[in-house]
Amino acid sequence: MDFQDVVRHRRMVRSFTAAPVPQASVERILRNAVRGPSAGFCQGQAFLVLRGPELPRFWAVAGEAAYPSVRTAPLIIVPLSCKRSYIDQYVQNADEGEDWSDESTWWPVPFWHIDTGMATLLMLLTVVDEGLAACYFGIMPREFEPLRAAFGIPADHAPIGAVAVGYDAGSSRDDYRSRRRPLDEMVHYRHW
């Protein structure tokens, strides 16, 4: 599929068929995810892949923010960011006296979350290119610890949300294009 077609067709689908996602598609989605930008090449992302018997356990502890129909997805990928990877990498290369663990000085934005978000977008685009559908949804902070406990996620890894993947059931065809803000309201050249 042409890249512009992938971008144009990318949307959040909220209802899925029961058909399983082929393993080759899962692997391609994940291979593309790790090709995203990474500040300092820290690669502080991890991905928890859940399907089949793991899904009821996932829904029991996380996914409060998901639409009920999203629970029909046969595959969930939880992108996780690891701040420690960034701090360790930058501390290792720091000049004497630099304290890279001080977020207010060295980390104006949390690059570990940004890089994981970019990896997630690459997953969403790959899903479209694979002829599949997806929905990104949040995981609430109060769900972090139950999710970690249920799936053995290390304490230094934070879920930035989850991606439901499957085949579109066709019942979620909202046309958001009519509500999309015009480009000239969002882009400012040379001055606001």
Residue type, 103: E
Sorted by where each starts, the structural domains of the chain and their CATH numbers stand as 3-169 (3.40.109.10)
Residue type, 122: L
- For 79, the 3-state DSSP assignment is strand
Q: State the Cα–Cα distance between residues 145 and 150, nearest whole angstrom.
A: 9
Q: pTM for the complete prediction? A: 0.85
What residues are paired with 150 via a beta bridge? Answer: none
Nearest 5°: phi and psi at 80? -120, 140
Token representation of residue 79: 């992108």
| Residue 147 half-sphere exposure toward CB, CA atoms < 13 A | 27
DSSP string, 16-54: B-SPPPPHHHHHHHHHHHTTS--GGG---EEEEEEETTH
Q: State the Cα–Cα distance between residues 39 and 62, nearest whole angstrom.
A: 29
Q: State the Cα–Cα distance between residues 93 and 96, nearest whole angstrom.
A: 9
- For 144, the 3-state DSSP assignment is helix
State the DSSP code for 94: P
Q: State the Cα–Cα distance between residues 17 and 76, nearest whole angstrom.
A: 14
In order along its 192 residues, the chain shows pLDDT tens digits of 787 776 777 777 788 999 999 999 999 999 999 998 777 666 889 999 999 999 999 999 998 888 888 999 999 999 999 988 877 777 676 667 676 666 666 777 788 888 999 999 999 999 999 999 999 999 999 999 999 999 999 999 999 999 999 999 986 555 555 677 888 888 989 888
pLDDT at 174: 56
DSSP run (H or E) holding 8: helix 3-9
